[in-house]
Amino acid sequence: MKTNSSILVVGSVAFDSIQTPAGKADQVLGGSGNYFSVAASFYAPVKVVGVVGEDFPKSHLEWLQARHIDVSGIKVVPGKTFHWAGSYDQNMNEAKTLTTALNVFEHFDPTLETAHQNSDYVFLGNIDPILQQKVLQQVRSPKLIAMDSMNFWITGKLEELKKTLAQVDILSINEGEAYLLSGQKNLSKAAAYIRGMGPSVVIIKRGEYGATLFTQKGIFLAPAYPVDTVTDPTGAGDSFAGAFMGYLAEAGASREMMKSDPQKFESILRRAVLAGCVMASFTVEDFSLHRLMRLEASELVQRQNSLMQMIAP
C-alpha cells in the first residue's frame, strides 16, 4: 500500500448461506461492503459504512480493523444482521436468490462522519439509489465516484437510479444487469447507452469470462484469470470492484487526470481492471471471505504477473 488516499464504501455487511455444486456454507460472512473493503485494503486505506445487528461477530470487525479497515461507520444496532441465501447451479455465473432477510438493513440510513465525508474515493455498493444519493450529498469533492447496482433497483427504482448514475464517474455492473438497464442486447451498445446516462467509465462484469471496460478512449477486454476450481462465485463482483478502486487510489487516478492526461488515466484504468480480475479469481476459490482472509500480497503479485503473461500477444 503506497497511498494515504482513502476509499469510502457504503454497502451491505451480511451473513450469507450459500449452496454451490462444490458444497454449502451456512451463515458465513458476506455482503458487498465486506468483500469490497477486504479486497481494496490490499491497495489503500478503506472506510466502510454499513449496519449490522447485535448477532454480528465482534471478532470480524476486529479482524477488519487489524487490516487497517476503518469500521467506525459500521453501526451495530438491536436486531439481526442482513441475511442472504442463494444458490448456484452448474452455470456459476448467476446466483439464484433463495431468501433475503433485510433485518436491520431495512432501516439503513447512511450518515457520514466528517472523516468519511472527506474520502478521496467513493464506492456506492448496490444499495437503494435513494441512499446512494444521500451518500453523495454528504461527501466533499472526492477524486472519483464509482457505483454498482442490481436488477432489483433497475426494475424497481429506475428513475432514482438514473439520478445516481448522472452523478458518478464509473459504473461497475454485471452483464445481465447492463442489458436490463440499457434495453440493449449487445455489449458495446449497452455500454454506449449507459455511458450516455452519466458514467464516463463503464465496466461490464462477465463472470468467468472476465470484464470489459468502456471509456472515451475505447474498449479494453480483460479476461478472467482461469482458476482450477470455482467453489463459490459470491462476492466476486464486489471484490473485483474493491481491488479496482484500490488500484485507482494507489495510482492516484482522478476526474482531473481523466481530462488532463486521458492516456495515463486509461492506462491506470486497464491495470485496475486486471487487478479486479485477479482479486475475483481468489475470491471464488473458497466460500465467503475465506480465501481473501488468508491471501498474501505475494500471491496477488504472482497471479497478477501470471495474468499479464496470459494476455500478452
Q: Which residues bind a second copy (CB under 8 A)?
A: 90, 185-189, 206, 209-210, 212, 218-221, 223, 226-230, 267, 270-271, 274, 308-313
| Minimum distance of a second copy from residue 228's CB (angstroms) | 6
CB atoms within 10 A of CB 67: 15
Nearer to a second copy, 128 or 266 (CB): 266
| Minimum distance of a second copy from residue 129's CB (angstroms) | 28
Nearer to a second copy, 175 or 238 (CB): 175
Q: Which of 312, 294, 272, 7 is nearest to 144 (CA)?
A: 7
- HSE (side-chain half, CA atoms, 13 Å) at 66: 7
Question: Any idea what the Cα angle at residue 129 is, between residues 124 and 133, rounded to 5°?
Answer: 70
| Minimum distance of a second copy from residue 159's CB (angstroms) | 28
DSSP string, 46-78: EEEEEEEETTS-HHHHHHHHHTTEEEEEEEEES
* Placement of cell 448496490 in the chain: 126
Nearer to a second copy, 133 or 267 (CB): 267
| Minimum distance of a second copy from residue 212's CB (angstroms) | 7
Nearer to a second copy, 301 or 311 (CB): 311
| Minimum distance of a second copy from residue 89's CB (angstroms) | 12
User: What is the layout of strands, in order, in the sheet containing 23-30?
Assistant: 23-30, 14-20, 83-87, 96-101
Nearer to a second copy, 57 or 226 (CB): 226
Q: What is the spatial distance between Cα 80 and Cα 72, in angstroms, rounded to a whole number?
A: 19
- 101 by DSSP, 3-state: which? strand
